[in-house]
Structure 1
């Protein structure tokens, strides 16, 4: 049951780790999470700029953005505002104004299991916004809602303080506890794929890629 809980922030992730994961494809990160961790049904609504940051979570009543407004007063530079809207597509939870506020306050992006509006404006901006759909109908502003609690986004659990990464392929998230090992494995896969592509373009590729192939 939804309440009006407002819990403390989780620690933010080392900026060097955030920068490293932002430079890697979500698909390769996902492969090294056993191809099991990812949000279904979310896509970018901005200009495609990659996103990575520390999860600040919000859980709200379907079609209501009161708690999201409150989160914008608490957001830290580098936070990704991750909103569990229950997948409801009847009303937009944010639009250009709330996205602009988040950008001005240094947030790393918005991830919403719900709908957004002002799509033409969002599409021209480099501030990352990932959601399920677009609709012009606006939200309620009554609550309830919770901040910094575990949430479900497109079937993926996100905890406050998780690392959240997004690009054109969608969204994944994971605990900072596994970040160093995951970074090493993903970099190794990315390097292997770059070599494969170079061989393909040069006409020297002989096949034989491992089970981690795309």
Structure 2
């Protein structure tokens, strides 16, 4: 385990990651706002969960984690289950008074190839994430550190930013925010997003051309 403490209070449930990495990469090249428009504005996380780094984009398979307010034992345990390309998505109960994620965990994520971190709660050591090259989003920032008692879970569905996140879902983030997509529908969603993107390129060209005449 990342940290040598008793993690017996953490429930761990395996899940499958079925998203095609090529599709994840392709859809991450489109703005979250555009993807959300195609999906009738559904699946987008609460606006209060904001990017804390300038690193763009964030995209990968959801590794869901549930923690108690101000406690990050389940996050430590989740690193044992993480795979390259995962995004840690943490329900920290929306608490912003005590950070549950910081620079040491960030370094552990990078070592395991984790693609990003989303926390419905607080984190700290913001400057270190830029140095690590790790995209992070959170509801808040606090210098106060966490406890490590549990309970919590890894792999079970959670709510994060008012969106239900299931293990293996696809999450995409940019400067505007985050959206969660079902992995099984990713190819269809990508095709629709590409059509909408092409339409908007033509529409903007027409508007600009008309303004210049």
Asked if the contact 1:46/1:125 (under 8 Å) is kept, the reply is no
Structure 2 residues not aligned, in runs of 5+? 1-8
User: For 1:5, what is the secondary structure of its paired residue?
Assistant: strand
Asked if the contact 1:26/1:171 (under 8 Å) is kept, the reply is yes
Q: Which of 21, 35, 38 is 2:27 aligned to?
A: 21
Asked if the contact 1:66/1:145 (under 8 Å) is kept, the reply is yes
Q: TM-score, normalised by structure 2?
A: 0.89
Pair 1:134-2:141 in alignment: yes
Asked if the contact 2:107/2:132 (under 8 Å) is kept, the reply is no
Q: Which of 31, 36, 59 is 1:30 aligned to?
A: 36
- The CA RMSD over aligned residues, in Å, is 1.8
Structure 1 residues 41-89: Cα deviation after superposition (integer angstroms, max 9, x where no partner): 1111112310110111100101110000011122100111110111111
CA–CA distance in 2 between the matches of 1:126 and 1:5?
Answer: 30
Pair 1:164-2:164 in alignment: no
User: For 1:59, what is the secondary structure of its paired residue?
Assistant: strand
Q: CA deviation at 1:123?
A: 4.3
Partner of 2:13: 7
Q: CA deviation at 1:4?
A: 2.7
Asked if the contact 2:19/2:186 (under 8 Å) is kept, the reply is no
Partner of 2:63: 56
Asked if the contact 1:87/1:113 (under 8 Å) is kept, the reply is yes
CA–CA distance in 1 between the matches of 2:42 and 2:25?
Answer: 23
Pair 1:197-2:192 in alignment: no
Q: TM-score, normalised by structure 1?
A: 0.89
Asked if the contact 1:92/1:116 (under 8 Å) is kept, the reply is yes
Give the length in aligned residue pairs: 204
